[in-house]
Structure 1
């Protein structure tokens, strides 16, 4: 059996168990972000490195995902924007073979790092490959005694399993997106068929009533009664369609998992950091869960599209009354709520307040120019 300083010809029992635990941890999740975190933490623990990172490249010279382990949140914030695909990282994303260095700082491709970046020396990088397509790369740094052939072979095994877990998670998220797109198309078709015809009849009946007001008041009243009936039916149809707009993921996964998944998608899609934290949230009535999700989506849209936020934090807390409190906080440019109201620009605030009131909840907004925005929604439980 190989020693830790020889090429790997067989795993020792302890490492075999560790690899098994790591593979199970990676395979037990279907959300891409969580899979990446599990891979990164498993690689760092398995090889005894001080730092670990995993990067998934985008098509624009940056990273669609970049996960670290061994770095505190405060250190990560101080480091600044995500790295670009250059230097040693670029090498890892364009070569199928691993990179092992005694001192990464002396590598010809080394291009330096930000001032707040931790100091690193010995380095081991391994591409995550699926049929010669590089899905990403694992980076490890700073191990007592440096990385060995055994470490490299061990990481290669982990990376092979990581490629399967990562590909499965990507396919799962893609299938969810396609399902959602199909559901939206179906609802749009239903909306057209069920409501458009009612509105067309309503318009014709209203016109008929208008022409009869002076000539035949009795018939005019009958036509107006028909207008009221058609309007009520149209409202019922619209209400039924809106109920169907409740995302299928809410029914399948619940509010916390659905909101966490959407936040992860936004965190990948935008330069801003988007975080989510939940605590003590019980299952809420369907209408409350839908309202919380819609308000969160509107608040996130405002923060990421209009406020220029660099960081957005979403928290969801259960209350003693078995309800929940949603809070969306951003560090964007902020605004004067009264000024927005006077100018007739709503930023979705009317919609959010309506959703809150519909389920017996309350919505508060705190903002000022240059001071970010906080939107808080409290909904009752069952």
Structure 2
């Protein structure tokens, strides 16, 4: 096996001082030839680096200086430099053949320069001898031997590490895919970062408008806590671009790409998206503020980890929503049955208290009139007038009962007038200002009108009961493609629509009822709210087409 001593023996042949003088005097010419050979060769990523990158050009000069040191007798300097370069080039992901191309080009440049040197000398003693050429070639061959050995050993280590990383990621995926609690998913993800990369993981759970990351803020850090300033900087960048970024030691942010120059970072972060392309959180990799190396392979693996985490989180959320929907459906069914029974009792009470008593009175009055029909005509006329008033009063009360079941004003003068009456009564009863904006003319299907009327009733009821607002803004407007948009906005307490309190007695059932009514019309229902910022209910329905169901 070759070692440094072997190359010292090779260099003992020939005239060492002549070789050194030759190289020193022709160093610039050798460099020119080297660059020509590199430029004329097939283009590769490594040649591009050597020829056009500042660091690559600096590396050429270091190589020439270390080769000169070897000719001066410091063989270890040159060979150790080649071992180091073999390690670095392997870590950087270059191909060994491309790196070898540089050595070949240098040998060609050295040979061409030596040929010209010998041709210019008349005296054979002044020329480079065969032993000198042999020593130079052996030195270069040996240098590439040590570079290749270091390169291949490093590449084997990298391959082994990458295989272990992939196996670890596979184990993480197999474990987390069966988890159905988001908190557990985040905890497993931060542990997964450590297992895969040997670095710390921190998950930033975000809040705010998660579509395109607008207004995102850090709700909570899960995992190892780090400086708030660094996390906010990473979140701001990711919320705007939704692409992975790295933060270097100079606090400069770099979008992560395969072609980026640096692989040294203090933090690396990636967005975690849900199935609707909304920002769920930010997954961070760090070493507690210290600089660490994160290779191209690591960056690609990290993207896959973040993407998979988002997919698992989305599945978990879908399953949770399905479970919640089932519970809502059970509660809604129970409430509908209860409401149906309450309505029946109320109708029965109204019929008993109003119609039954009125009809009983009318019957007695009619019998009395029959008795006095041939006895007292004046009295009969008076009783008949009272009977007429009783009948009219019964008709009026029956209309009131019918009107309570369906607002007749919707059929008589339309939805705008019905809304005005509803908000007028609401404002007077509860001392809440309601501002109503609407188009002058708004024809609408009666069934859709009653559904919107009931949604508005529920929205006003919810606002008064839970939000305690001083002002409510109601708007109706037509949109493109024949859609109607209703917006109910209050300045009350507000709440987080994502949080559900099962201990309360179904405060969210009103929202569910409104959603069901809107979706039954083929429309959409949305709640926008934050604690302390009021609540906005948005209902959008088609003005044409049949009602679903």
Superposition TM-score tier, normalisation by shorter sequence: 0.3 to 0.5
* Between structures 1 and 2, the one with greater strand share: 1
Which structure would you say has the larger Rg? Answer: 2
Q: TM-score if structure 2 supplies the norm length?
A: 0.30
